[in-house]
Amino acid sequence: MIRAVEPSPHVSAPVLAAYGYCETVTGQQARNFAYGIRLLPTSKRRAMSALYAFSRRVDDIGDGALDHEVKTARLEDTRALLARVRAGEVEEDDTDPVAVALAHTARTFPVPLRGLDELIDGVLMDVRGETYETWDDLKVYCRCVAGAIGRLSLGVFGTAPGARGAERAPEYADTLGLALQLTNILRDVREDAEGGRTYLPADDLAKFGCSAGFDGPKPPEGSDFVGLVHFEVRRARALFAEGYRLLPMLDRRSGACVAAMAGIYRRLLDRIERDPEAVLRGRVSLPGREKAYVAVRGLSGLDTRHVSRRTVRRNP
Tell me: pLDDT of 311 over 70. no
Q: Are 7 and 40 in contact (CB under 8 A)?
A: no
From CA 191, how far away is CA 34, in angstroms rounded?
Answer: 23
**Which residues have CB under 8 Å from 302's CB, separation 6+?**
none
| Among candidate residues 30, 101, 90, 23, the one with its CA nearest the CA of residue 59 | 30
Higher pLDDT, 134 or 196: 134
Separation CA 207–CA 120 (nearest Å): 31
Q: Quote the pLDDT of residue 3.
A: 46
Residues with Cβ within 8 Å of 23's Cβ and at least 6 positions away in sequence, in order, are: 45, 46, 49
Three-class DSSP category at 224 = coil
Tens of pLDDT, residues 209-258? 999 999 889 999 999 999 999 999 999 999 999 999 999 999 999 999 99
pLDDT-above-90 percentage for the chain = 81
CB 138 within 8 A of CB 132: yes
Q: In whole numbers, what is the pLDDT of the chain averaged over residues?
A: 91
pLDDT at 312: 44
Cα distance between residue 150 and residue 154, in whole Å: 6
Length of the chain: 316
Query: Mind listing the pLDDT tens digit for each residue in 14-31?
Result: 999 999 999 999 999 987
For 289, residues 6+ apart whose C-beta sits below 8 A from its C-beta are none
